[in-house]
Amino acid sequence: MKIARVFAKRTNMVPVDKDCYFTQPELFMPQYDEVHISVTFTWDIERGYYLKELWKDVCKKVLIGGPAFNDPGNSFYPGMYLKPGVVITSRGCPCSCDFCFVPKREGNIRELKITEGNIIQDNNLLYCSKGHIDNVFQMLKGQHKISFSGGLAAERISDEIVEKLRGLKIYEIWIAFDSISKEPIVKKAVEKLKKYFKRRKLRCYVLIGYKDDTVEKARSRLMTALEIGFIPFAMLYRSDNGEKDKRTEWKKIQKEWTRVTSIKTNLKKIH
């Protein structure tokens, strides 16, 4: 079956092969059995429906779906909706963080078939069974430039996990640092990791702008992440309808903590 995949937004995670599109159909199109409109973010749903209407002239069967429509992700097809190399070996999350959509959308942790890839995009790999984790690491032994971009749970970074990571060709290890109350857990994890991995390989997602957060609190968390050994990356919270805090200071802090030059400047302040 020949399928065209149409993405509501171009990101660094989507595939770009000849059957991928990001806008209206071209004048002369190949014949397709199905067209799949893929929408990742809820704030792009309107554009997804707009594209669906445009593609009805190309194919009789035009489907629309994706995470934005609360797809629980019962399966994963490598290279289909994520670029080659990106794999998802599990779905869901057992945690109940009130800012996170994953448990509501995907439910509790579920293990999927493990496929080959070097970028692990699981929401919470380390909450899987030991057997599944072992099999994922076994697969990764044959990979290069490995990135745990989905993030690893800081509280699950044990000596055993660190030993497994040491046996891989690591490019990036990502951990989340969402509230200052988690500092002891995050600090313990980074102390284990930085014995074997340099700072440039240790990355940290820092959620900012959620609920009672302030610019001062956010800056403090970002600096704390930097001080204990991570390269922080500010993620400005968006509600399920895509709304961001539009205040200039939030935009400024997000910009400051997503640019390499700015982070290097902040790094100099702690040395």
User: How much is the average pLDDT of 251-263?
Assistant: 85
d(CA 242, CA 87): 26
Q: Which fold would CATH assign to domain 74-269?
A: pyruvate-formate lyase- activating enzyme (3.80.30)
Q: Give the angle subtended at the CA of 95 by the CAs of 92 and 99, to the nearest 5°.
A: 90
Specify the range with the lowest mean pLDDT, choosing from 115-119, 196-200, 247-251: 247-251
**Of 250, 240, 265, 266, nearest in space to 43 by CA:** 240
Decide which of 240 and 13 is more confident.
13
The reply to whether the predicted model has a pTM over 0.85 is yes
Q: What's the pLDDT at 246?
A: 66
User: How much is the average pLDDT of 129-133?
Assistant: 97
Q: Which band of pLDDT confidence, cut at 50, 70 and 90, is reported for residue 175?
A: very high
Q: Residue 104 phi/psi, 5° resolution?
A: -70, -35
Q: Number of C-alpha atoms within 13 angstroms, CB side, residue 156?
A: 18
Q: What's the pLDDT at 137?
A: 98
Q: What's the pLDDT at 242?
A: 64
Mean pLDDT of the chain: 91
* Under 8 Å between Cβ of 26 and 55: no
Decide which of 70 and 133 is more confident.
133
* Under 8 Å between Cβ of 200 and 230: no
Burial 184-222 (b: 16+ CB within 10 A, else e): ebbbebbebbeeebeeebbbbbbbbbbeebeeeebbebb
d(CA 250, CA 256): 10
* Chain-centroid distance, C-alpha 103: 15
